[in-house]
Homo-oligomer: A and B are copies of this chain.
Amino acid sequence: MTEWIDGKRVAQRIRDQVAHDVATSFTADTSPGLATVLVGDDPASAVYVGSKRRMVRHLGMRDVHRAVPSDAAQAEVAAVLDELAEDPAVSGILLQLPLPSGLDAAALIDRIPVAKDVDGLSTVSAGLLARDRFGLRPCTPAGVLELLDAEGVKIEGATAVVVGRSDLVGRPMGQMLVNRDATVTVTHKATPDLPAVTREADVLVVAAGVHGLIGPEHVKPGATVIDVGIHRTPAGLAGDVRAAELGGLARRLTPVPGGVGPMTIAMLMANTVKAARWARRLA
């Protein structure tokens, strides 16, 4: 029997924990604050930022927002980030991606102080992860780990395979699984025989960004399959995994939507609390 992993339920539990932590560990004056920075007027980005801001307020945290015109120069965006970096009311800074063309996203992200880098995407945060040191982790792979833990999936000693090596998901996911004592293989488009590798996986995390890439020929019976992909298709939202074909083969599987998706924003909230606690220790 294949079980669906209910990302909505796990995300709800994370958010409940955040609300509890905010209510019990902070006062109105010290409440964690998330600053969202939106450059330009991309409609999808505006929707994402709006969701994050509503969630921040809903959980009792401080919502700080900066809207920057789409024709802003690199130095103008940098100045906004620097001001937020100095602001003690701001625990975490999120620079919504993608940025309008002409801006150097990597350089801007690296202006965010490591202790406020709630997206975990700066070079220093990547280095802390690579060294298995304390820091803020990218939200999507952190959410995948929470899902695995919530389902009681054994990671230590497991054979884990990650499909994809993006900065956002694949690379950090591989390192997080190594840090948790899994034997980890990172695969990508240059992997010649993908099914042969993925069929070894007890835990298979698919973040290739290719609709329907993974089918039954890729999956070991009894595996846990986590689908990070999300694609708009004529038949509705779908992932990198052909989920309908895995019934009875995989032991557990995340749906799309309702699997990894809800975890990313929940982990952003959890990272904001973690950042606020980090700032308190640094103060």
* Docked-complex contact A183 and B175, CB < 8 angstroms: no
A195-B166 Cα distance, complex, nearest whole Å: 29
Q: Is the interface of A mostly helix, strand, loop or mixed?
A: mixed
What is the copy number of this chain in the assembly?
2
* Docked-complex contact B190 and A156, CB < 8 angstroms: yes
Which residues in chain A, 181-200, are within 8 Å of chain B measured between CB atoms?
A: 181-188, 190-192, 197
Using known A-B contacts A156-B190, A183-B197, determine if residue A171 contacts B123 with beta carbons closer than 8 Å.
no
Cβ contact of A178, chosen from B124, B128, B186, cutoff 8 A: B186
A131-B130 Cα distance, complex, nearest whole Å: 10
* Docked-complex contact A186 and B188, CB < 8 angstroms: no
Which residues in chain A, 126-140, are within 8 Å of chain B measured between CB atoms?
A: 126-131, 133
Q: Which residues of B contact A187 (CB under 8 A)?
A: 183
Cβ contact of A184, chosen from B122, B125, B130, B186, cutoff 8 A: B186
How close is A137's CB to chain B, nearest CB, in angstroms?
Answer: 12
* Docked-complex contact A127 and B133, CB < 8 angstroms: no
Q: Is A69 positioned at the interface, with any CB of B under 8 Å from its CB?
A: no
Q: Is A167 positioned at the interface, with any CB of B under 8 Å from its CB?
A: yes
Q: Besides the contacts A124-B124, A124-B127, A183-B186, what 5 more A-B pairs have beta carbons closer than 8 Å? A: A122-B127, A123-B127, A126-B131, A183-B187, A185-B185
* Docked-complex contact B183 and A183, CB < 8 angstroms: no
